[in-house]
Amino acid sequence: MHPGGSFTDESSAAFEIAQTIGGNVFSAVFVAGLIIAQFTSGLAAQASGSRLLYAMGRDGVLPKRIFGVLHRGFQTPWGSIVVVGVVGLIAMFLDVATSTSFVNFGAFIAFAMVNISVVVLAVKARREGKRVNVLLDYVAPSIGAIVIIGLLTQLDSNALIIGAVWLVIGIVILASLTGGFRRQPPHVEGEAFAG
């Protein structure tokens, strides 16, 4: 619908397209819908993220004093809500490309680790004398991991730096919780996610 591929501001290209399609009325409806969608998405992220941090704090994965306490009156994890809110406020200073790349960094790392885990479990199963499928247990996850790592290298450099710092912080926390990876990490109970 937009003539050409150049926009005044790439981060608001959808608004320009909406204005081209339906003028000021349609662009106003579009912006109203966008505001509602962003608000509800942020609210869902705030609620789910804070509950996850609460469960981790309650079970000793994160510091209990901050993350594992509930507000006396509202019975909500107020420390976790504040932490998620602060992270959200800091994210307001990132541009769209960096913030999207940062989210993609986390997703790519998680997906790559899933593929690598399949290969590791297959190696372990084979050592135990169990039957494995070469295509499904070695080839497919190896190709998946290579493709995902290739995509990871194409992300915004700021996102790679921020993501790498975030990953290192996570590894340091995990190392401290497991005594230098000598014992199992604390277990997060499933019922924490209900309600």
- Least confident range from 9-18, 42-51, 120-129, 179-188: namely 9-18
Residue 5 lies in a domain: no
pLDDT at 188 over 70: no
Q: In degrees to the nearest 10, what's the CA dihedral of 58, 61, 66, 71?
A: -20
Three-state secondary structure string covering 87-137: HHHHHCCCCHHHHHHHHHHHHHHHHHHHHHHHHHHHHHHHHCCCCCCHHHH
Residue 126 lies in a domain: yes
Give the pLDDT confidence score for residue 7 in this predicted structure: 67
Residue 6 lies in a domain: no
**Do 100 and 87 share a structural domain?**
no
**Do 99 and 64 share a structural domain?**
no
Tens digits of residue pLDDT in 141-175: 999 999 999 999 998 888 888 889 988 998 998 89
Last residue of a domain, which of 93, 117, 138? 93
Last residue of a domain, which of 57, 76, 93? 93
**Do 157 and 72 share a structural domain?**
no
**Do 166 and 127 share a structural domain?**
yes
**Do 158 and 78 share a structural domain?**
no
Whole-prediction pTM:
0.65
Cβ(173)–Cβ(53) under 8 Å? no
Q: How confident is the model at residue 195 (pLDDT cuts 50, 70, 90)?
A: very low
**Do 62 and 46 share a structural domain?**
yes
**Do 79 and 15 share a structural domain?**
yes
Structurally, the chain folds into a number of domains equal to 2
Question: What contacts 60, CB < 8 A, 6 or more positions away?
Answer: 68, 177, 186
Domain with 62 in it: 11-93
Residue 4 lies in a domain: no
Residue 75 lies in a domain: yes
Last residue of a domain, which of 93, 126, 141? 93
Burial string for 100-129 (b: 16+ CB within 10 Å, else e) reads ebbebbeebbebbeebbebbeebeeeeeee
Residue 121 lies in a domain: yes
**Do 104 and 193 share a structural domain?**
yes
Q: Which amino acid is at 41?
A: S
**Do 189 and 138 share a structural domain?**
yes
**Do 194 and 105 share a structural domain?**
yes
Three-state secondary structure string covering 22-33: HHHHHHHHHHHH
**Do 84 and 48 share a structural domain?**
yes
pLDDT at 32 over 80: yes
Residue 1 lies in a domain: no
